Structure 1
Amino acid sequence: MNTAAVQAMLDALAAIGADPPGITRHAFDDRENAAHDLAIGHARRLGLEITRDAAANLYLTWPGADRAAPRTLLGSHFDTVRHGGNFDGAAGVVAALAAVSTLRAEGFVPRADVTIAAFRCEEAVWFGLGLIGSRAALGILPPEALDRRRADTGLTLAQHIARCGGDPKAITPGARLLPPGPIRCFLEAHIEQAPSLLEAGAPIGICTGIPGNIRHAAIRITGADAHVGLPRRFRHDAALAGADIFTALDAMWAEEDAAGRAMAVTIGRFHTDTAKHEITVVAGDFTFSIDLRAYDAAHLAELERRFHDILATTAARRGVTIDLGPRNAAPLGPCDPALQAALAAAAARAGIATLPLGSPASHDAANFAAQGIPTGLLLVRNANGSHNPHEAMDTADLMAAAATFAEFLRETA
């Protein structure tokens, strides 16, 4: 795939997901299926083997000379958040296809299989749990996840998997769904989610690590509804309790920043019940979400402890109760030092400038790293972050990632 072919595939993916003002490719649904079909069309033209697993993940394999040798696995995902951008996830699958296309055109024959994976449902917005496809592939999907319901359809994850041709009954803890045989390494390309590469003038970054996270999707604060004239000392104001928590978490983040300890905290949902609460009612209940992330397990655990302290202090001060609801976690993803060096060397041979860079976001790659599989991640320059309609990756930068993968595979596959 040359630049024109890559651009045509990106344009086709945008058409599949078109949902003004942005792009929506729903997980385990027609648009994600259509993106998989688009990849399958390219794979057939490249003569790749096409398989799916019980979670409806897609695998496109370029057979190597020694089919028993440890394979190189590359990939990412096609689903998006609602009204997101076109490149988050999809760019990684396209880069892998472009790298294999380049090498096949040269007549290169890999020593071992090279497999491109398109994992299902990386985004947590669909079922309240992220990285679902890669978790299932690695045999680490929590069993209760299959009963989670997609908010917009009301169907369970198991039902959605079955509708996409998968077999939810075969998804069990400890049972890997990946193509059989050993894996030499896992590689992913993903757009950058902060403008560090734009600032540095480098097209790609060599990721040094992926943060782990703790998430609660619906934390509920319960106080007491009351008249707006009620004096402050009598109030059990759930909304003000939420504001206190938000302020305390931001102060904690500022303190961590000042000490040079990388972390992030995000409250994505923050609301009263608009069907119930009015301008003349003190809010007796309030709901918010939290995503707390850091690059070190001990640091993340300490941040979670401090978060619980903030909740307890606020509950006592405001006279409210706080229900955390379900807790979800994603593992830390340490990027393999040898792979970091090899990817940097491959980029250098191709004349591509790179920057060592931590990823601020979770990725499918983190699951592989947490399972002890050597993992590497390329970050592609992108001006406006991700999870919004304004993702701004240049195709030329994606081609730099593809060229780096091709050079790496030329030396090692």
Structure 2
Amino acid sequence: MSLAAAVAAQRGLVAGLLDRLAEIGRDPPGITRHAYGEREDAAHALVAGMARDLGLEVARDAAANLAMTWPGADRAAPRVMLGSHLDSVRHGGNFDGAAGVVAALAAIAALRGTGFAPRADVTAMAFRCEEAVWFGLGLIGSRAALGLLPREALEARRADTGETLAAHIRRSGGAPEAIAPGAPLIPPGAVRCFLEAHIEQAPSLAEAGLPLAIATGIPGNLRHAAIRIAGEDAHVGLPRRFRRDAALAGAELFTALDALWREEEAAGRAMAFTIGRFHTPVETHELTKVSGSFALSLDLRAYDPAHLAALERRLHAIVAEVAARCRVSIALGPRSAAPVGPCDAALRAQLAEAAARMGVATMPLGSPASHDAANFAAAGIPTGLLLVRNTNGSHNPREAMEVDDLMAAAATFAAWLAAQA
């Protein structure tokens, strides 16, 4: 059987897995697969069952990450890893993360159908808790696997249950006591490279009319999930010169950051910032009251470490300026960060060639989002990322990936593995 025919034969597996994952996560108006919760556990069990049906070895590590391995001729040789995650944001879509796990399994199934035998192990991964909404820190499973998870993260509490990450890991079959910074769960030198497929976050491929992109890099980010502005409650009629308006300070901070983004964009320096939470305290805000307190969150990202560091310095300067001008105090609160993830140049070229061999048109494209792949790149492991066309963005119920486009990613992975694994 030709490789193209073998990939096409996996369309039913791909569509069926996606449908069953959607059923597990169904939470109108979208999909919710809680990290280290019953729905993510069920998604992992589903995928593990499919892997066993394909004849793969199934194992879980101390972080409850799922490894599904196709044994190679040389079991001691560094392996190829492919995969992504199965958790979602609340009321998100079905494909963010899950598409990458399914594409990895489809590529392996296709190659097995041709009789191909890999020289070294090929492992499809389903990492835990990629989304930061659950514990205030993203990429948790891959951070733990690579020894990059801060010790204090185990005491972070899940947004909905209030229980610690350690408790949730244990309930999902992991062993949090075995997770420590500098103690990777994946032995050093055991991974030759890591490949991930992920839906795109902006409709760049839809705009270009292409199914797939070869990612050029993954931005790093810094996050402040609980910024607090403190001013003074006052009467709605208070003249401006007497006010210490925390809400106005929040608005000024927002517009100053937007002006920074416009300035950086005009200079050709790619970045983004997002304020997700932005509110006066719901228990005390009133129509006729100047609010003395305000809360917001901030995600700031860029593709170059030096640029990200420069942006953080600008952030602190802006905060100081707004605080002085509005006569308030601004506490940025806890800081978390994810590293910049450069995509390996050789892998980028090889993936483009593999796609071309399978008749898949691609383009180079920077990923606007963080991914588990960024942790592998930060750990010095060569990393490649495929972006799959998705018209309506992600983290919303309207994610619009087509199965045929995911099949193009699976075909590209299969062709790459046939040439390289």
Relative to the length of structure 1, the TM-score reads: 0.99
For 1:199 and 1:229, how far apart are their aligned partners in 2? Answer: 49
Amino acid at match of 2:53: R
Matches within 5 A, 1:88-99: 88-99=96-107
| Matching residue of 2:302 | 294
The alignment status of 1:19 with 2:34, answered yes or no, reads no
Amino acid at match of 1:366: A
| Matching residue of 2:315 | 307
For 2:117 and 2:187, how far apart are their aligned partners in 1? Answer: 20
The alignment status of 1:154 with 2:162, answered yes or no, reads yes
**Corresponding residue to 1:201 among 189, 200, 209:** 209
For 1:254 and 1:179, how far apart are their aligned partners in 2? Answer: 44
| Matching residue of 1:360 | 368
Contact 1:197/1:205, CA 8 A, preserved across alignment: yes
Shift of 1:257: 1.1
| Matching residue of 1:376 | 384
- Give the paired residue count: 413
SS of 2:381's partner is: coil
For 1:10 and 1:183, how far apart are their aligned partners in 2? Answer: 28
For 2:249 and 2:282, how far apart are their aligned partners in 1? Answer: 17
Shift of 1:178: 2.2
| Matching residue of 1:128 | 136
SS of 1:152's partner is: coil
Amino acid at match of 1:151: A
Q: Which runs of 5+ in 1 are unaligned?
A: none
**C-alpha deviations, 1:155-212, integer Å up to 9, x for none?**
0000000000110000011111126862110000000111111111111100000000
| Matching residue of 2:4 | none
Structure 1 vs Structure 2 CA RMSD:
0.9
Contact 1:81/1:123, CA 8 A, preserved across alignment: yes
SS of 1:55's partner is: coil
Shift of 1:280: 1.1
**C-alpha deviations, 1:113-141, integer Å up to 9, x for none?**
00011000000000000000000000010
The alignment status of 1:41 with 2:71, answered yes or no, reads no
SS of 1:118's partner is: strand
| Matching residue of 1:348 | 356
Which moved further from structure 2: 258-267 or 1-10?
1-10
Amino acid at match of 2:63: A
Identity of aligned residues (%): 74
Amino acid at match of 1:75: G
| Matching residue of 1:331 | 339
**C-alpha deviations, 1:305-357, integer Å up to 9, x for none?**
11111110010011100111100000000000000000000001111000000
| Matching residue of 1:261 | 269
The runs of at least 4 consecutive aligned structure 1 residues that moved more than 6 Å come to none
| Matching residue of 1:411 | 419
**Corresponding residue to 1:216 among 207, 213, 224:** 224
| Matching residue of 1:400 | 408
The alignment status of 1:50 with 2:64, answered yes or no, reads no
Shift of 1:258: 1.1
SS of 2:355's partner is: helix
For 2:266 and 2:114, how far apart are their aligned partners in 1? Answer: 51
Q: Which runs of 5+ in 2 are unaligned?
A: 1-8
Contact 1:221/1:321, CA 8 A, preserved across alignment: yes
SS of 1:301's partner is: helix
For 1:181 and 1:297, how far apart are their aligned partners in 2? Answer: 25
**C-alpha deviations, 1:290-309, integer Å up to 9, x for none?**
00000011111111111111
| Matching residue of 2:397 | 389
The alignment status of 1:241 with 2:249, answered yes or no, reads yes
| Matching residue of 2:5 | none
For 2:196 and 2:307, how far apart are their aligned partners in 1? Answer: 26
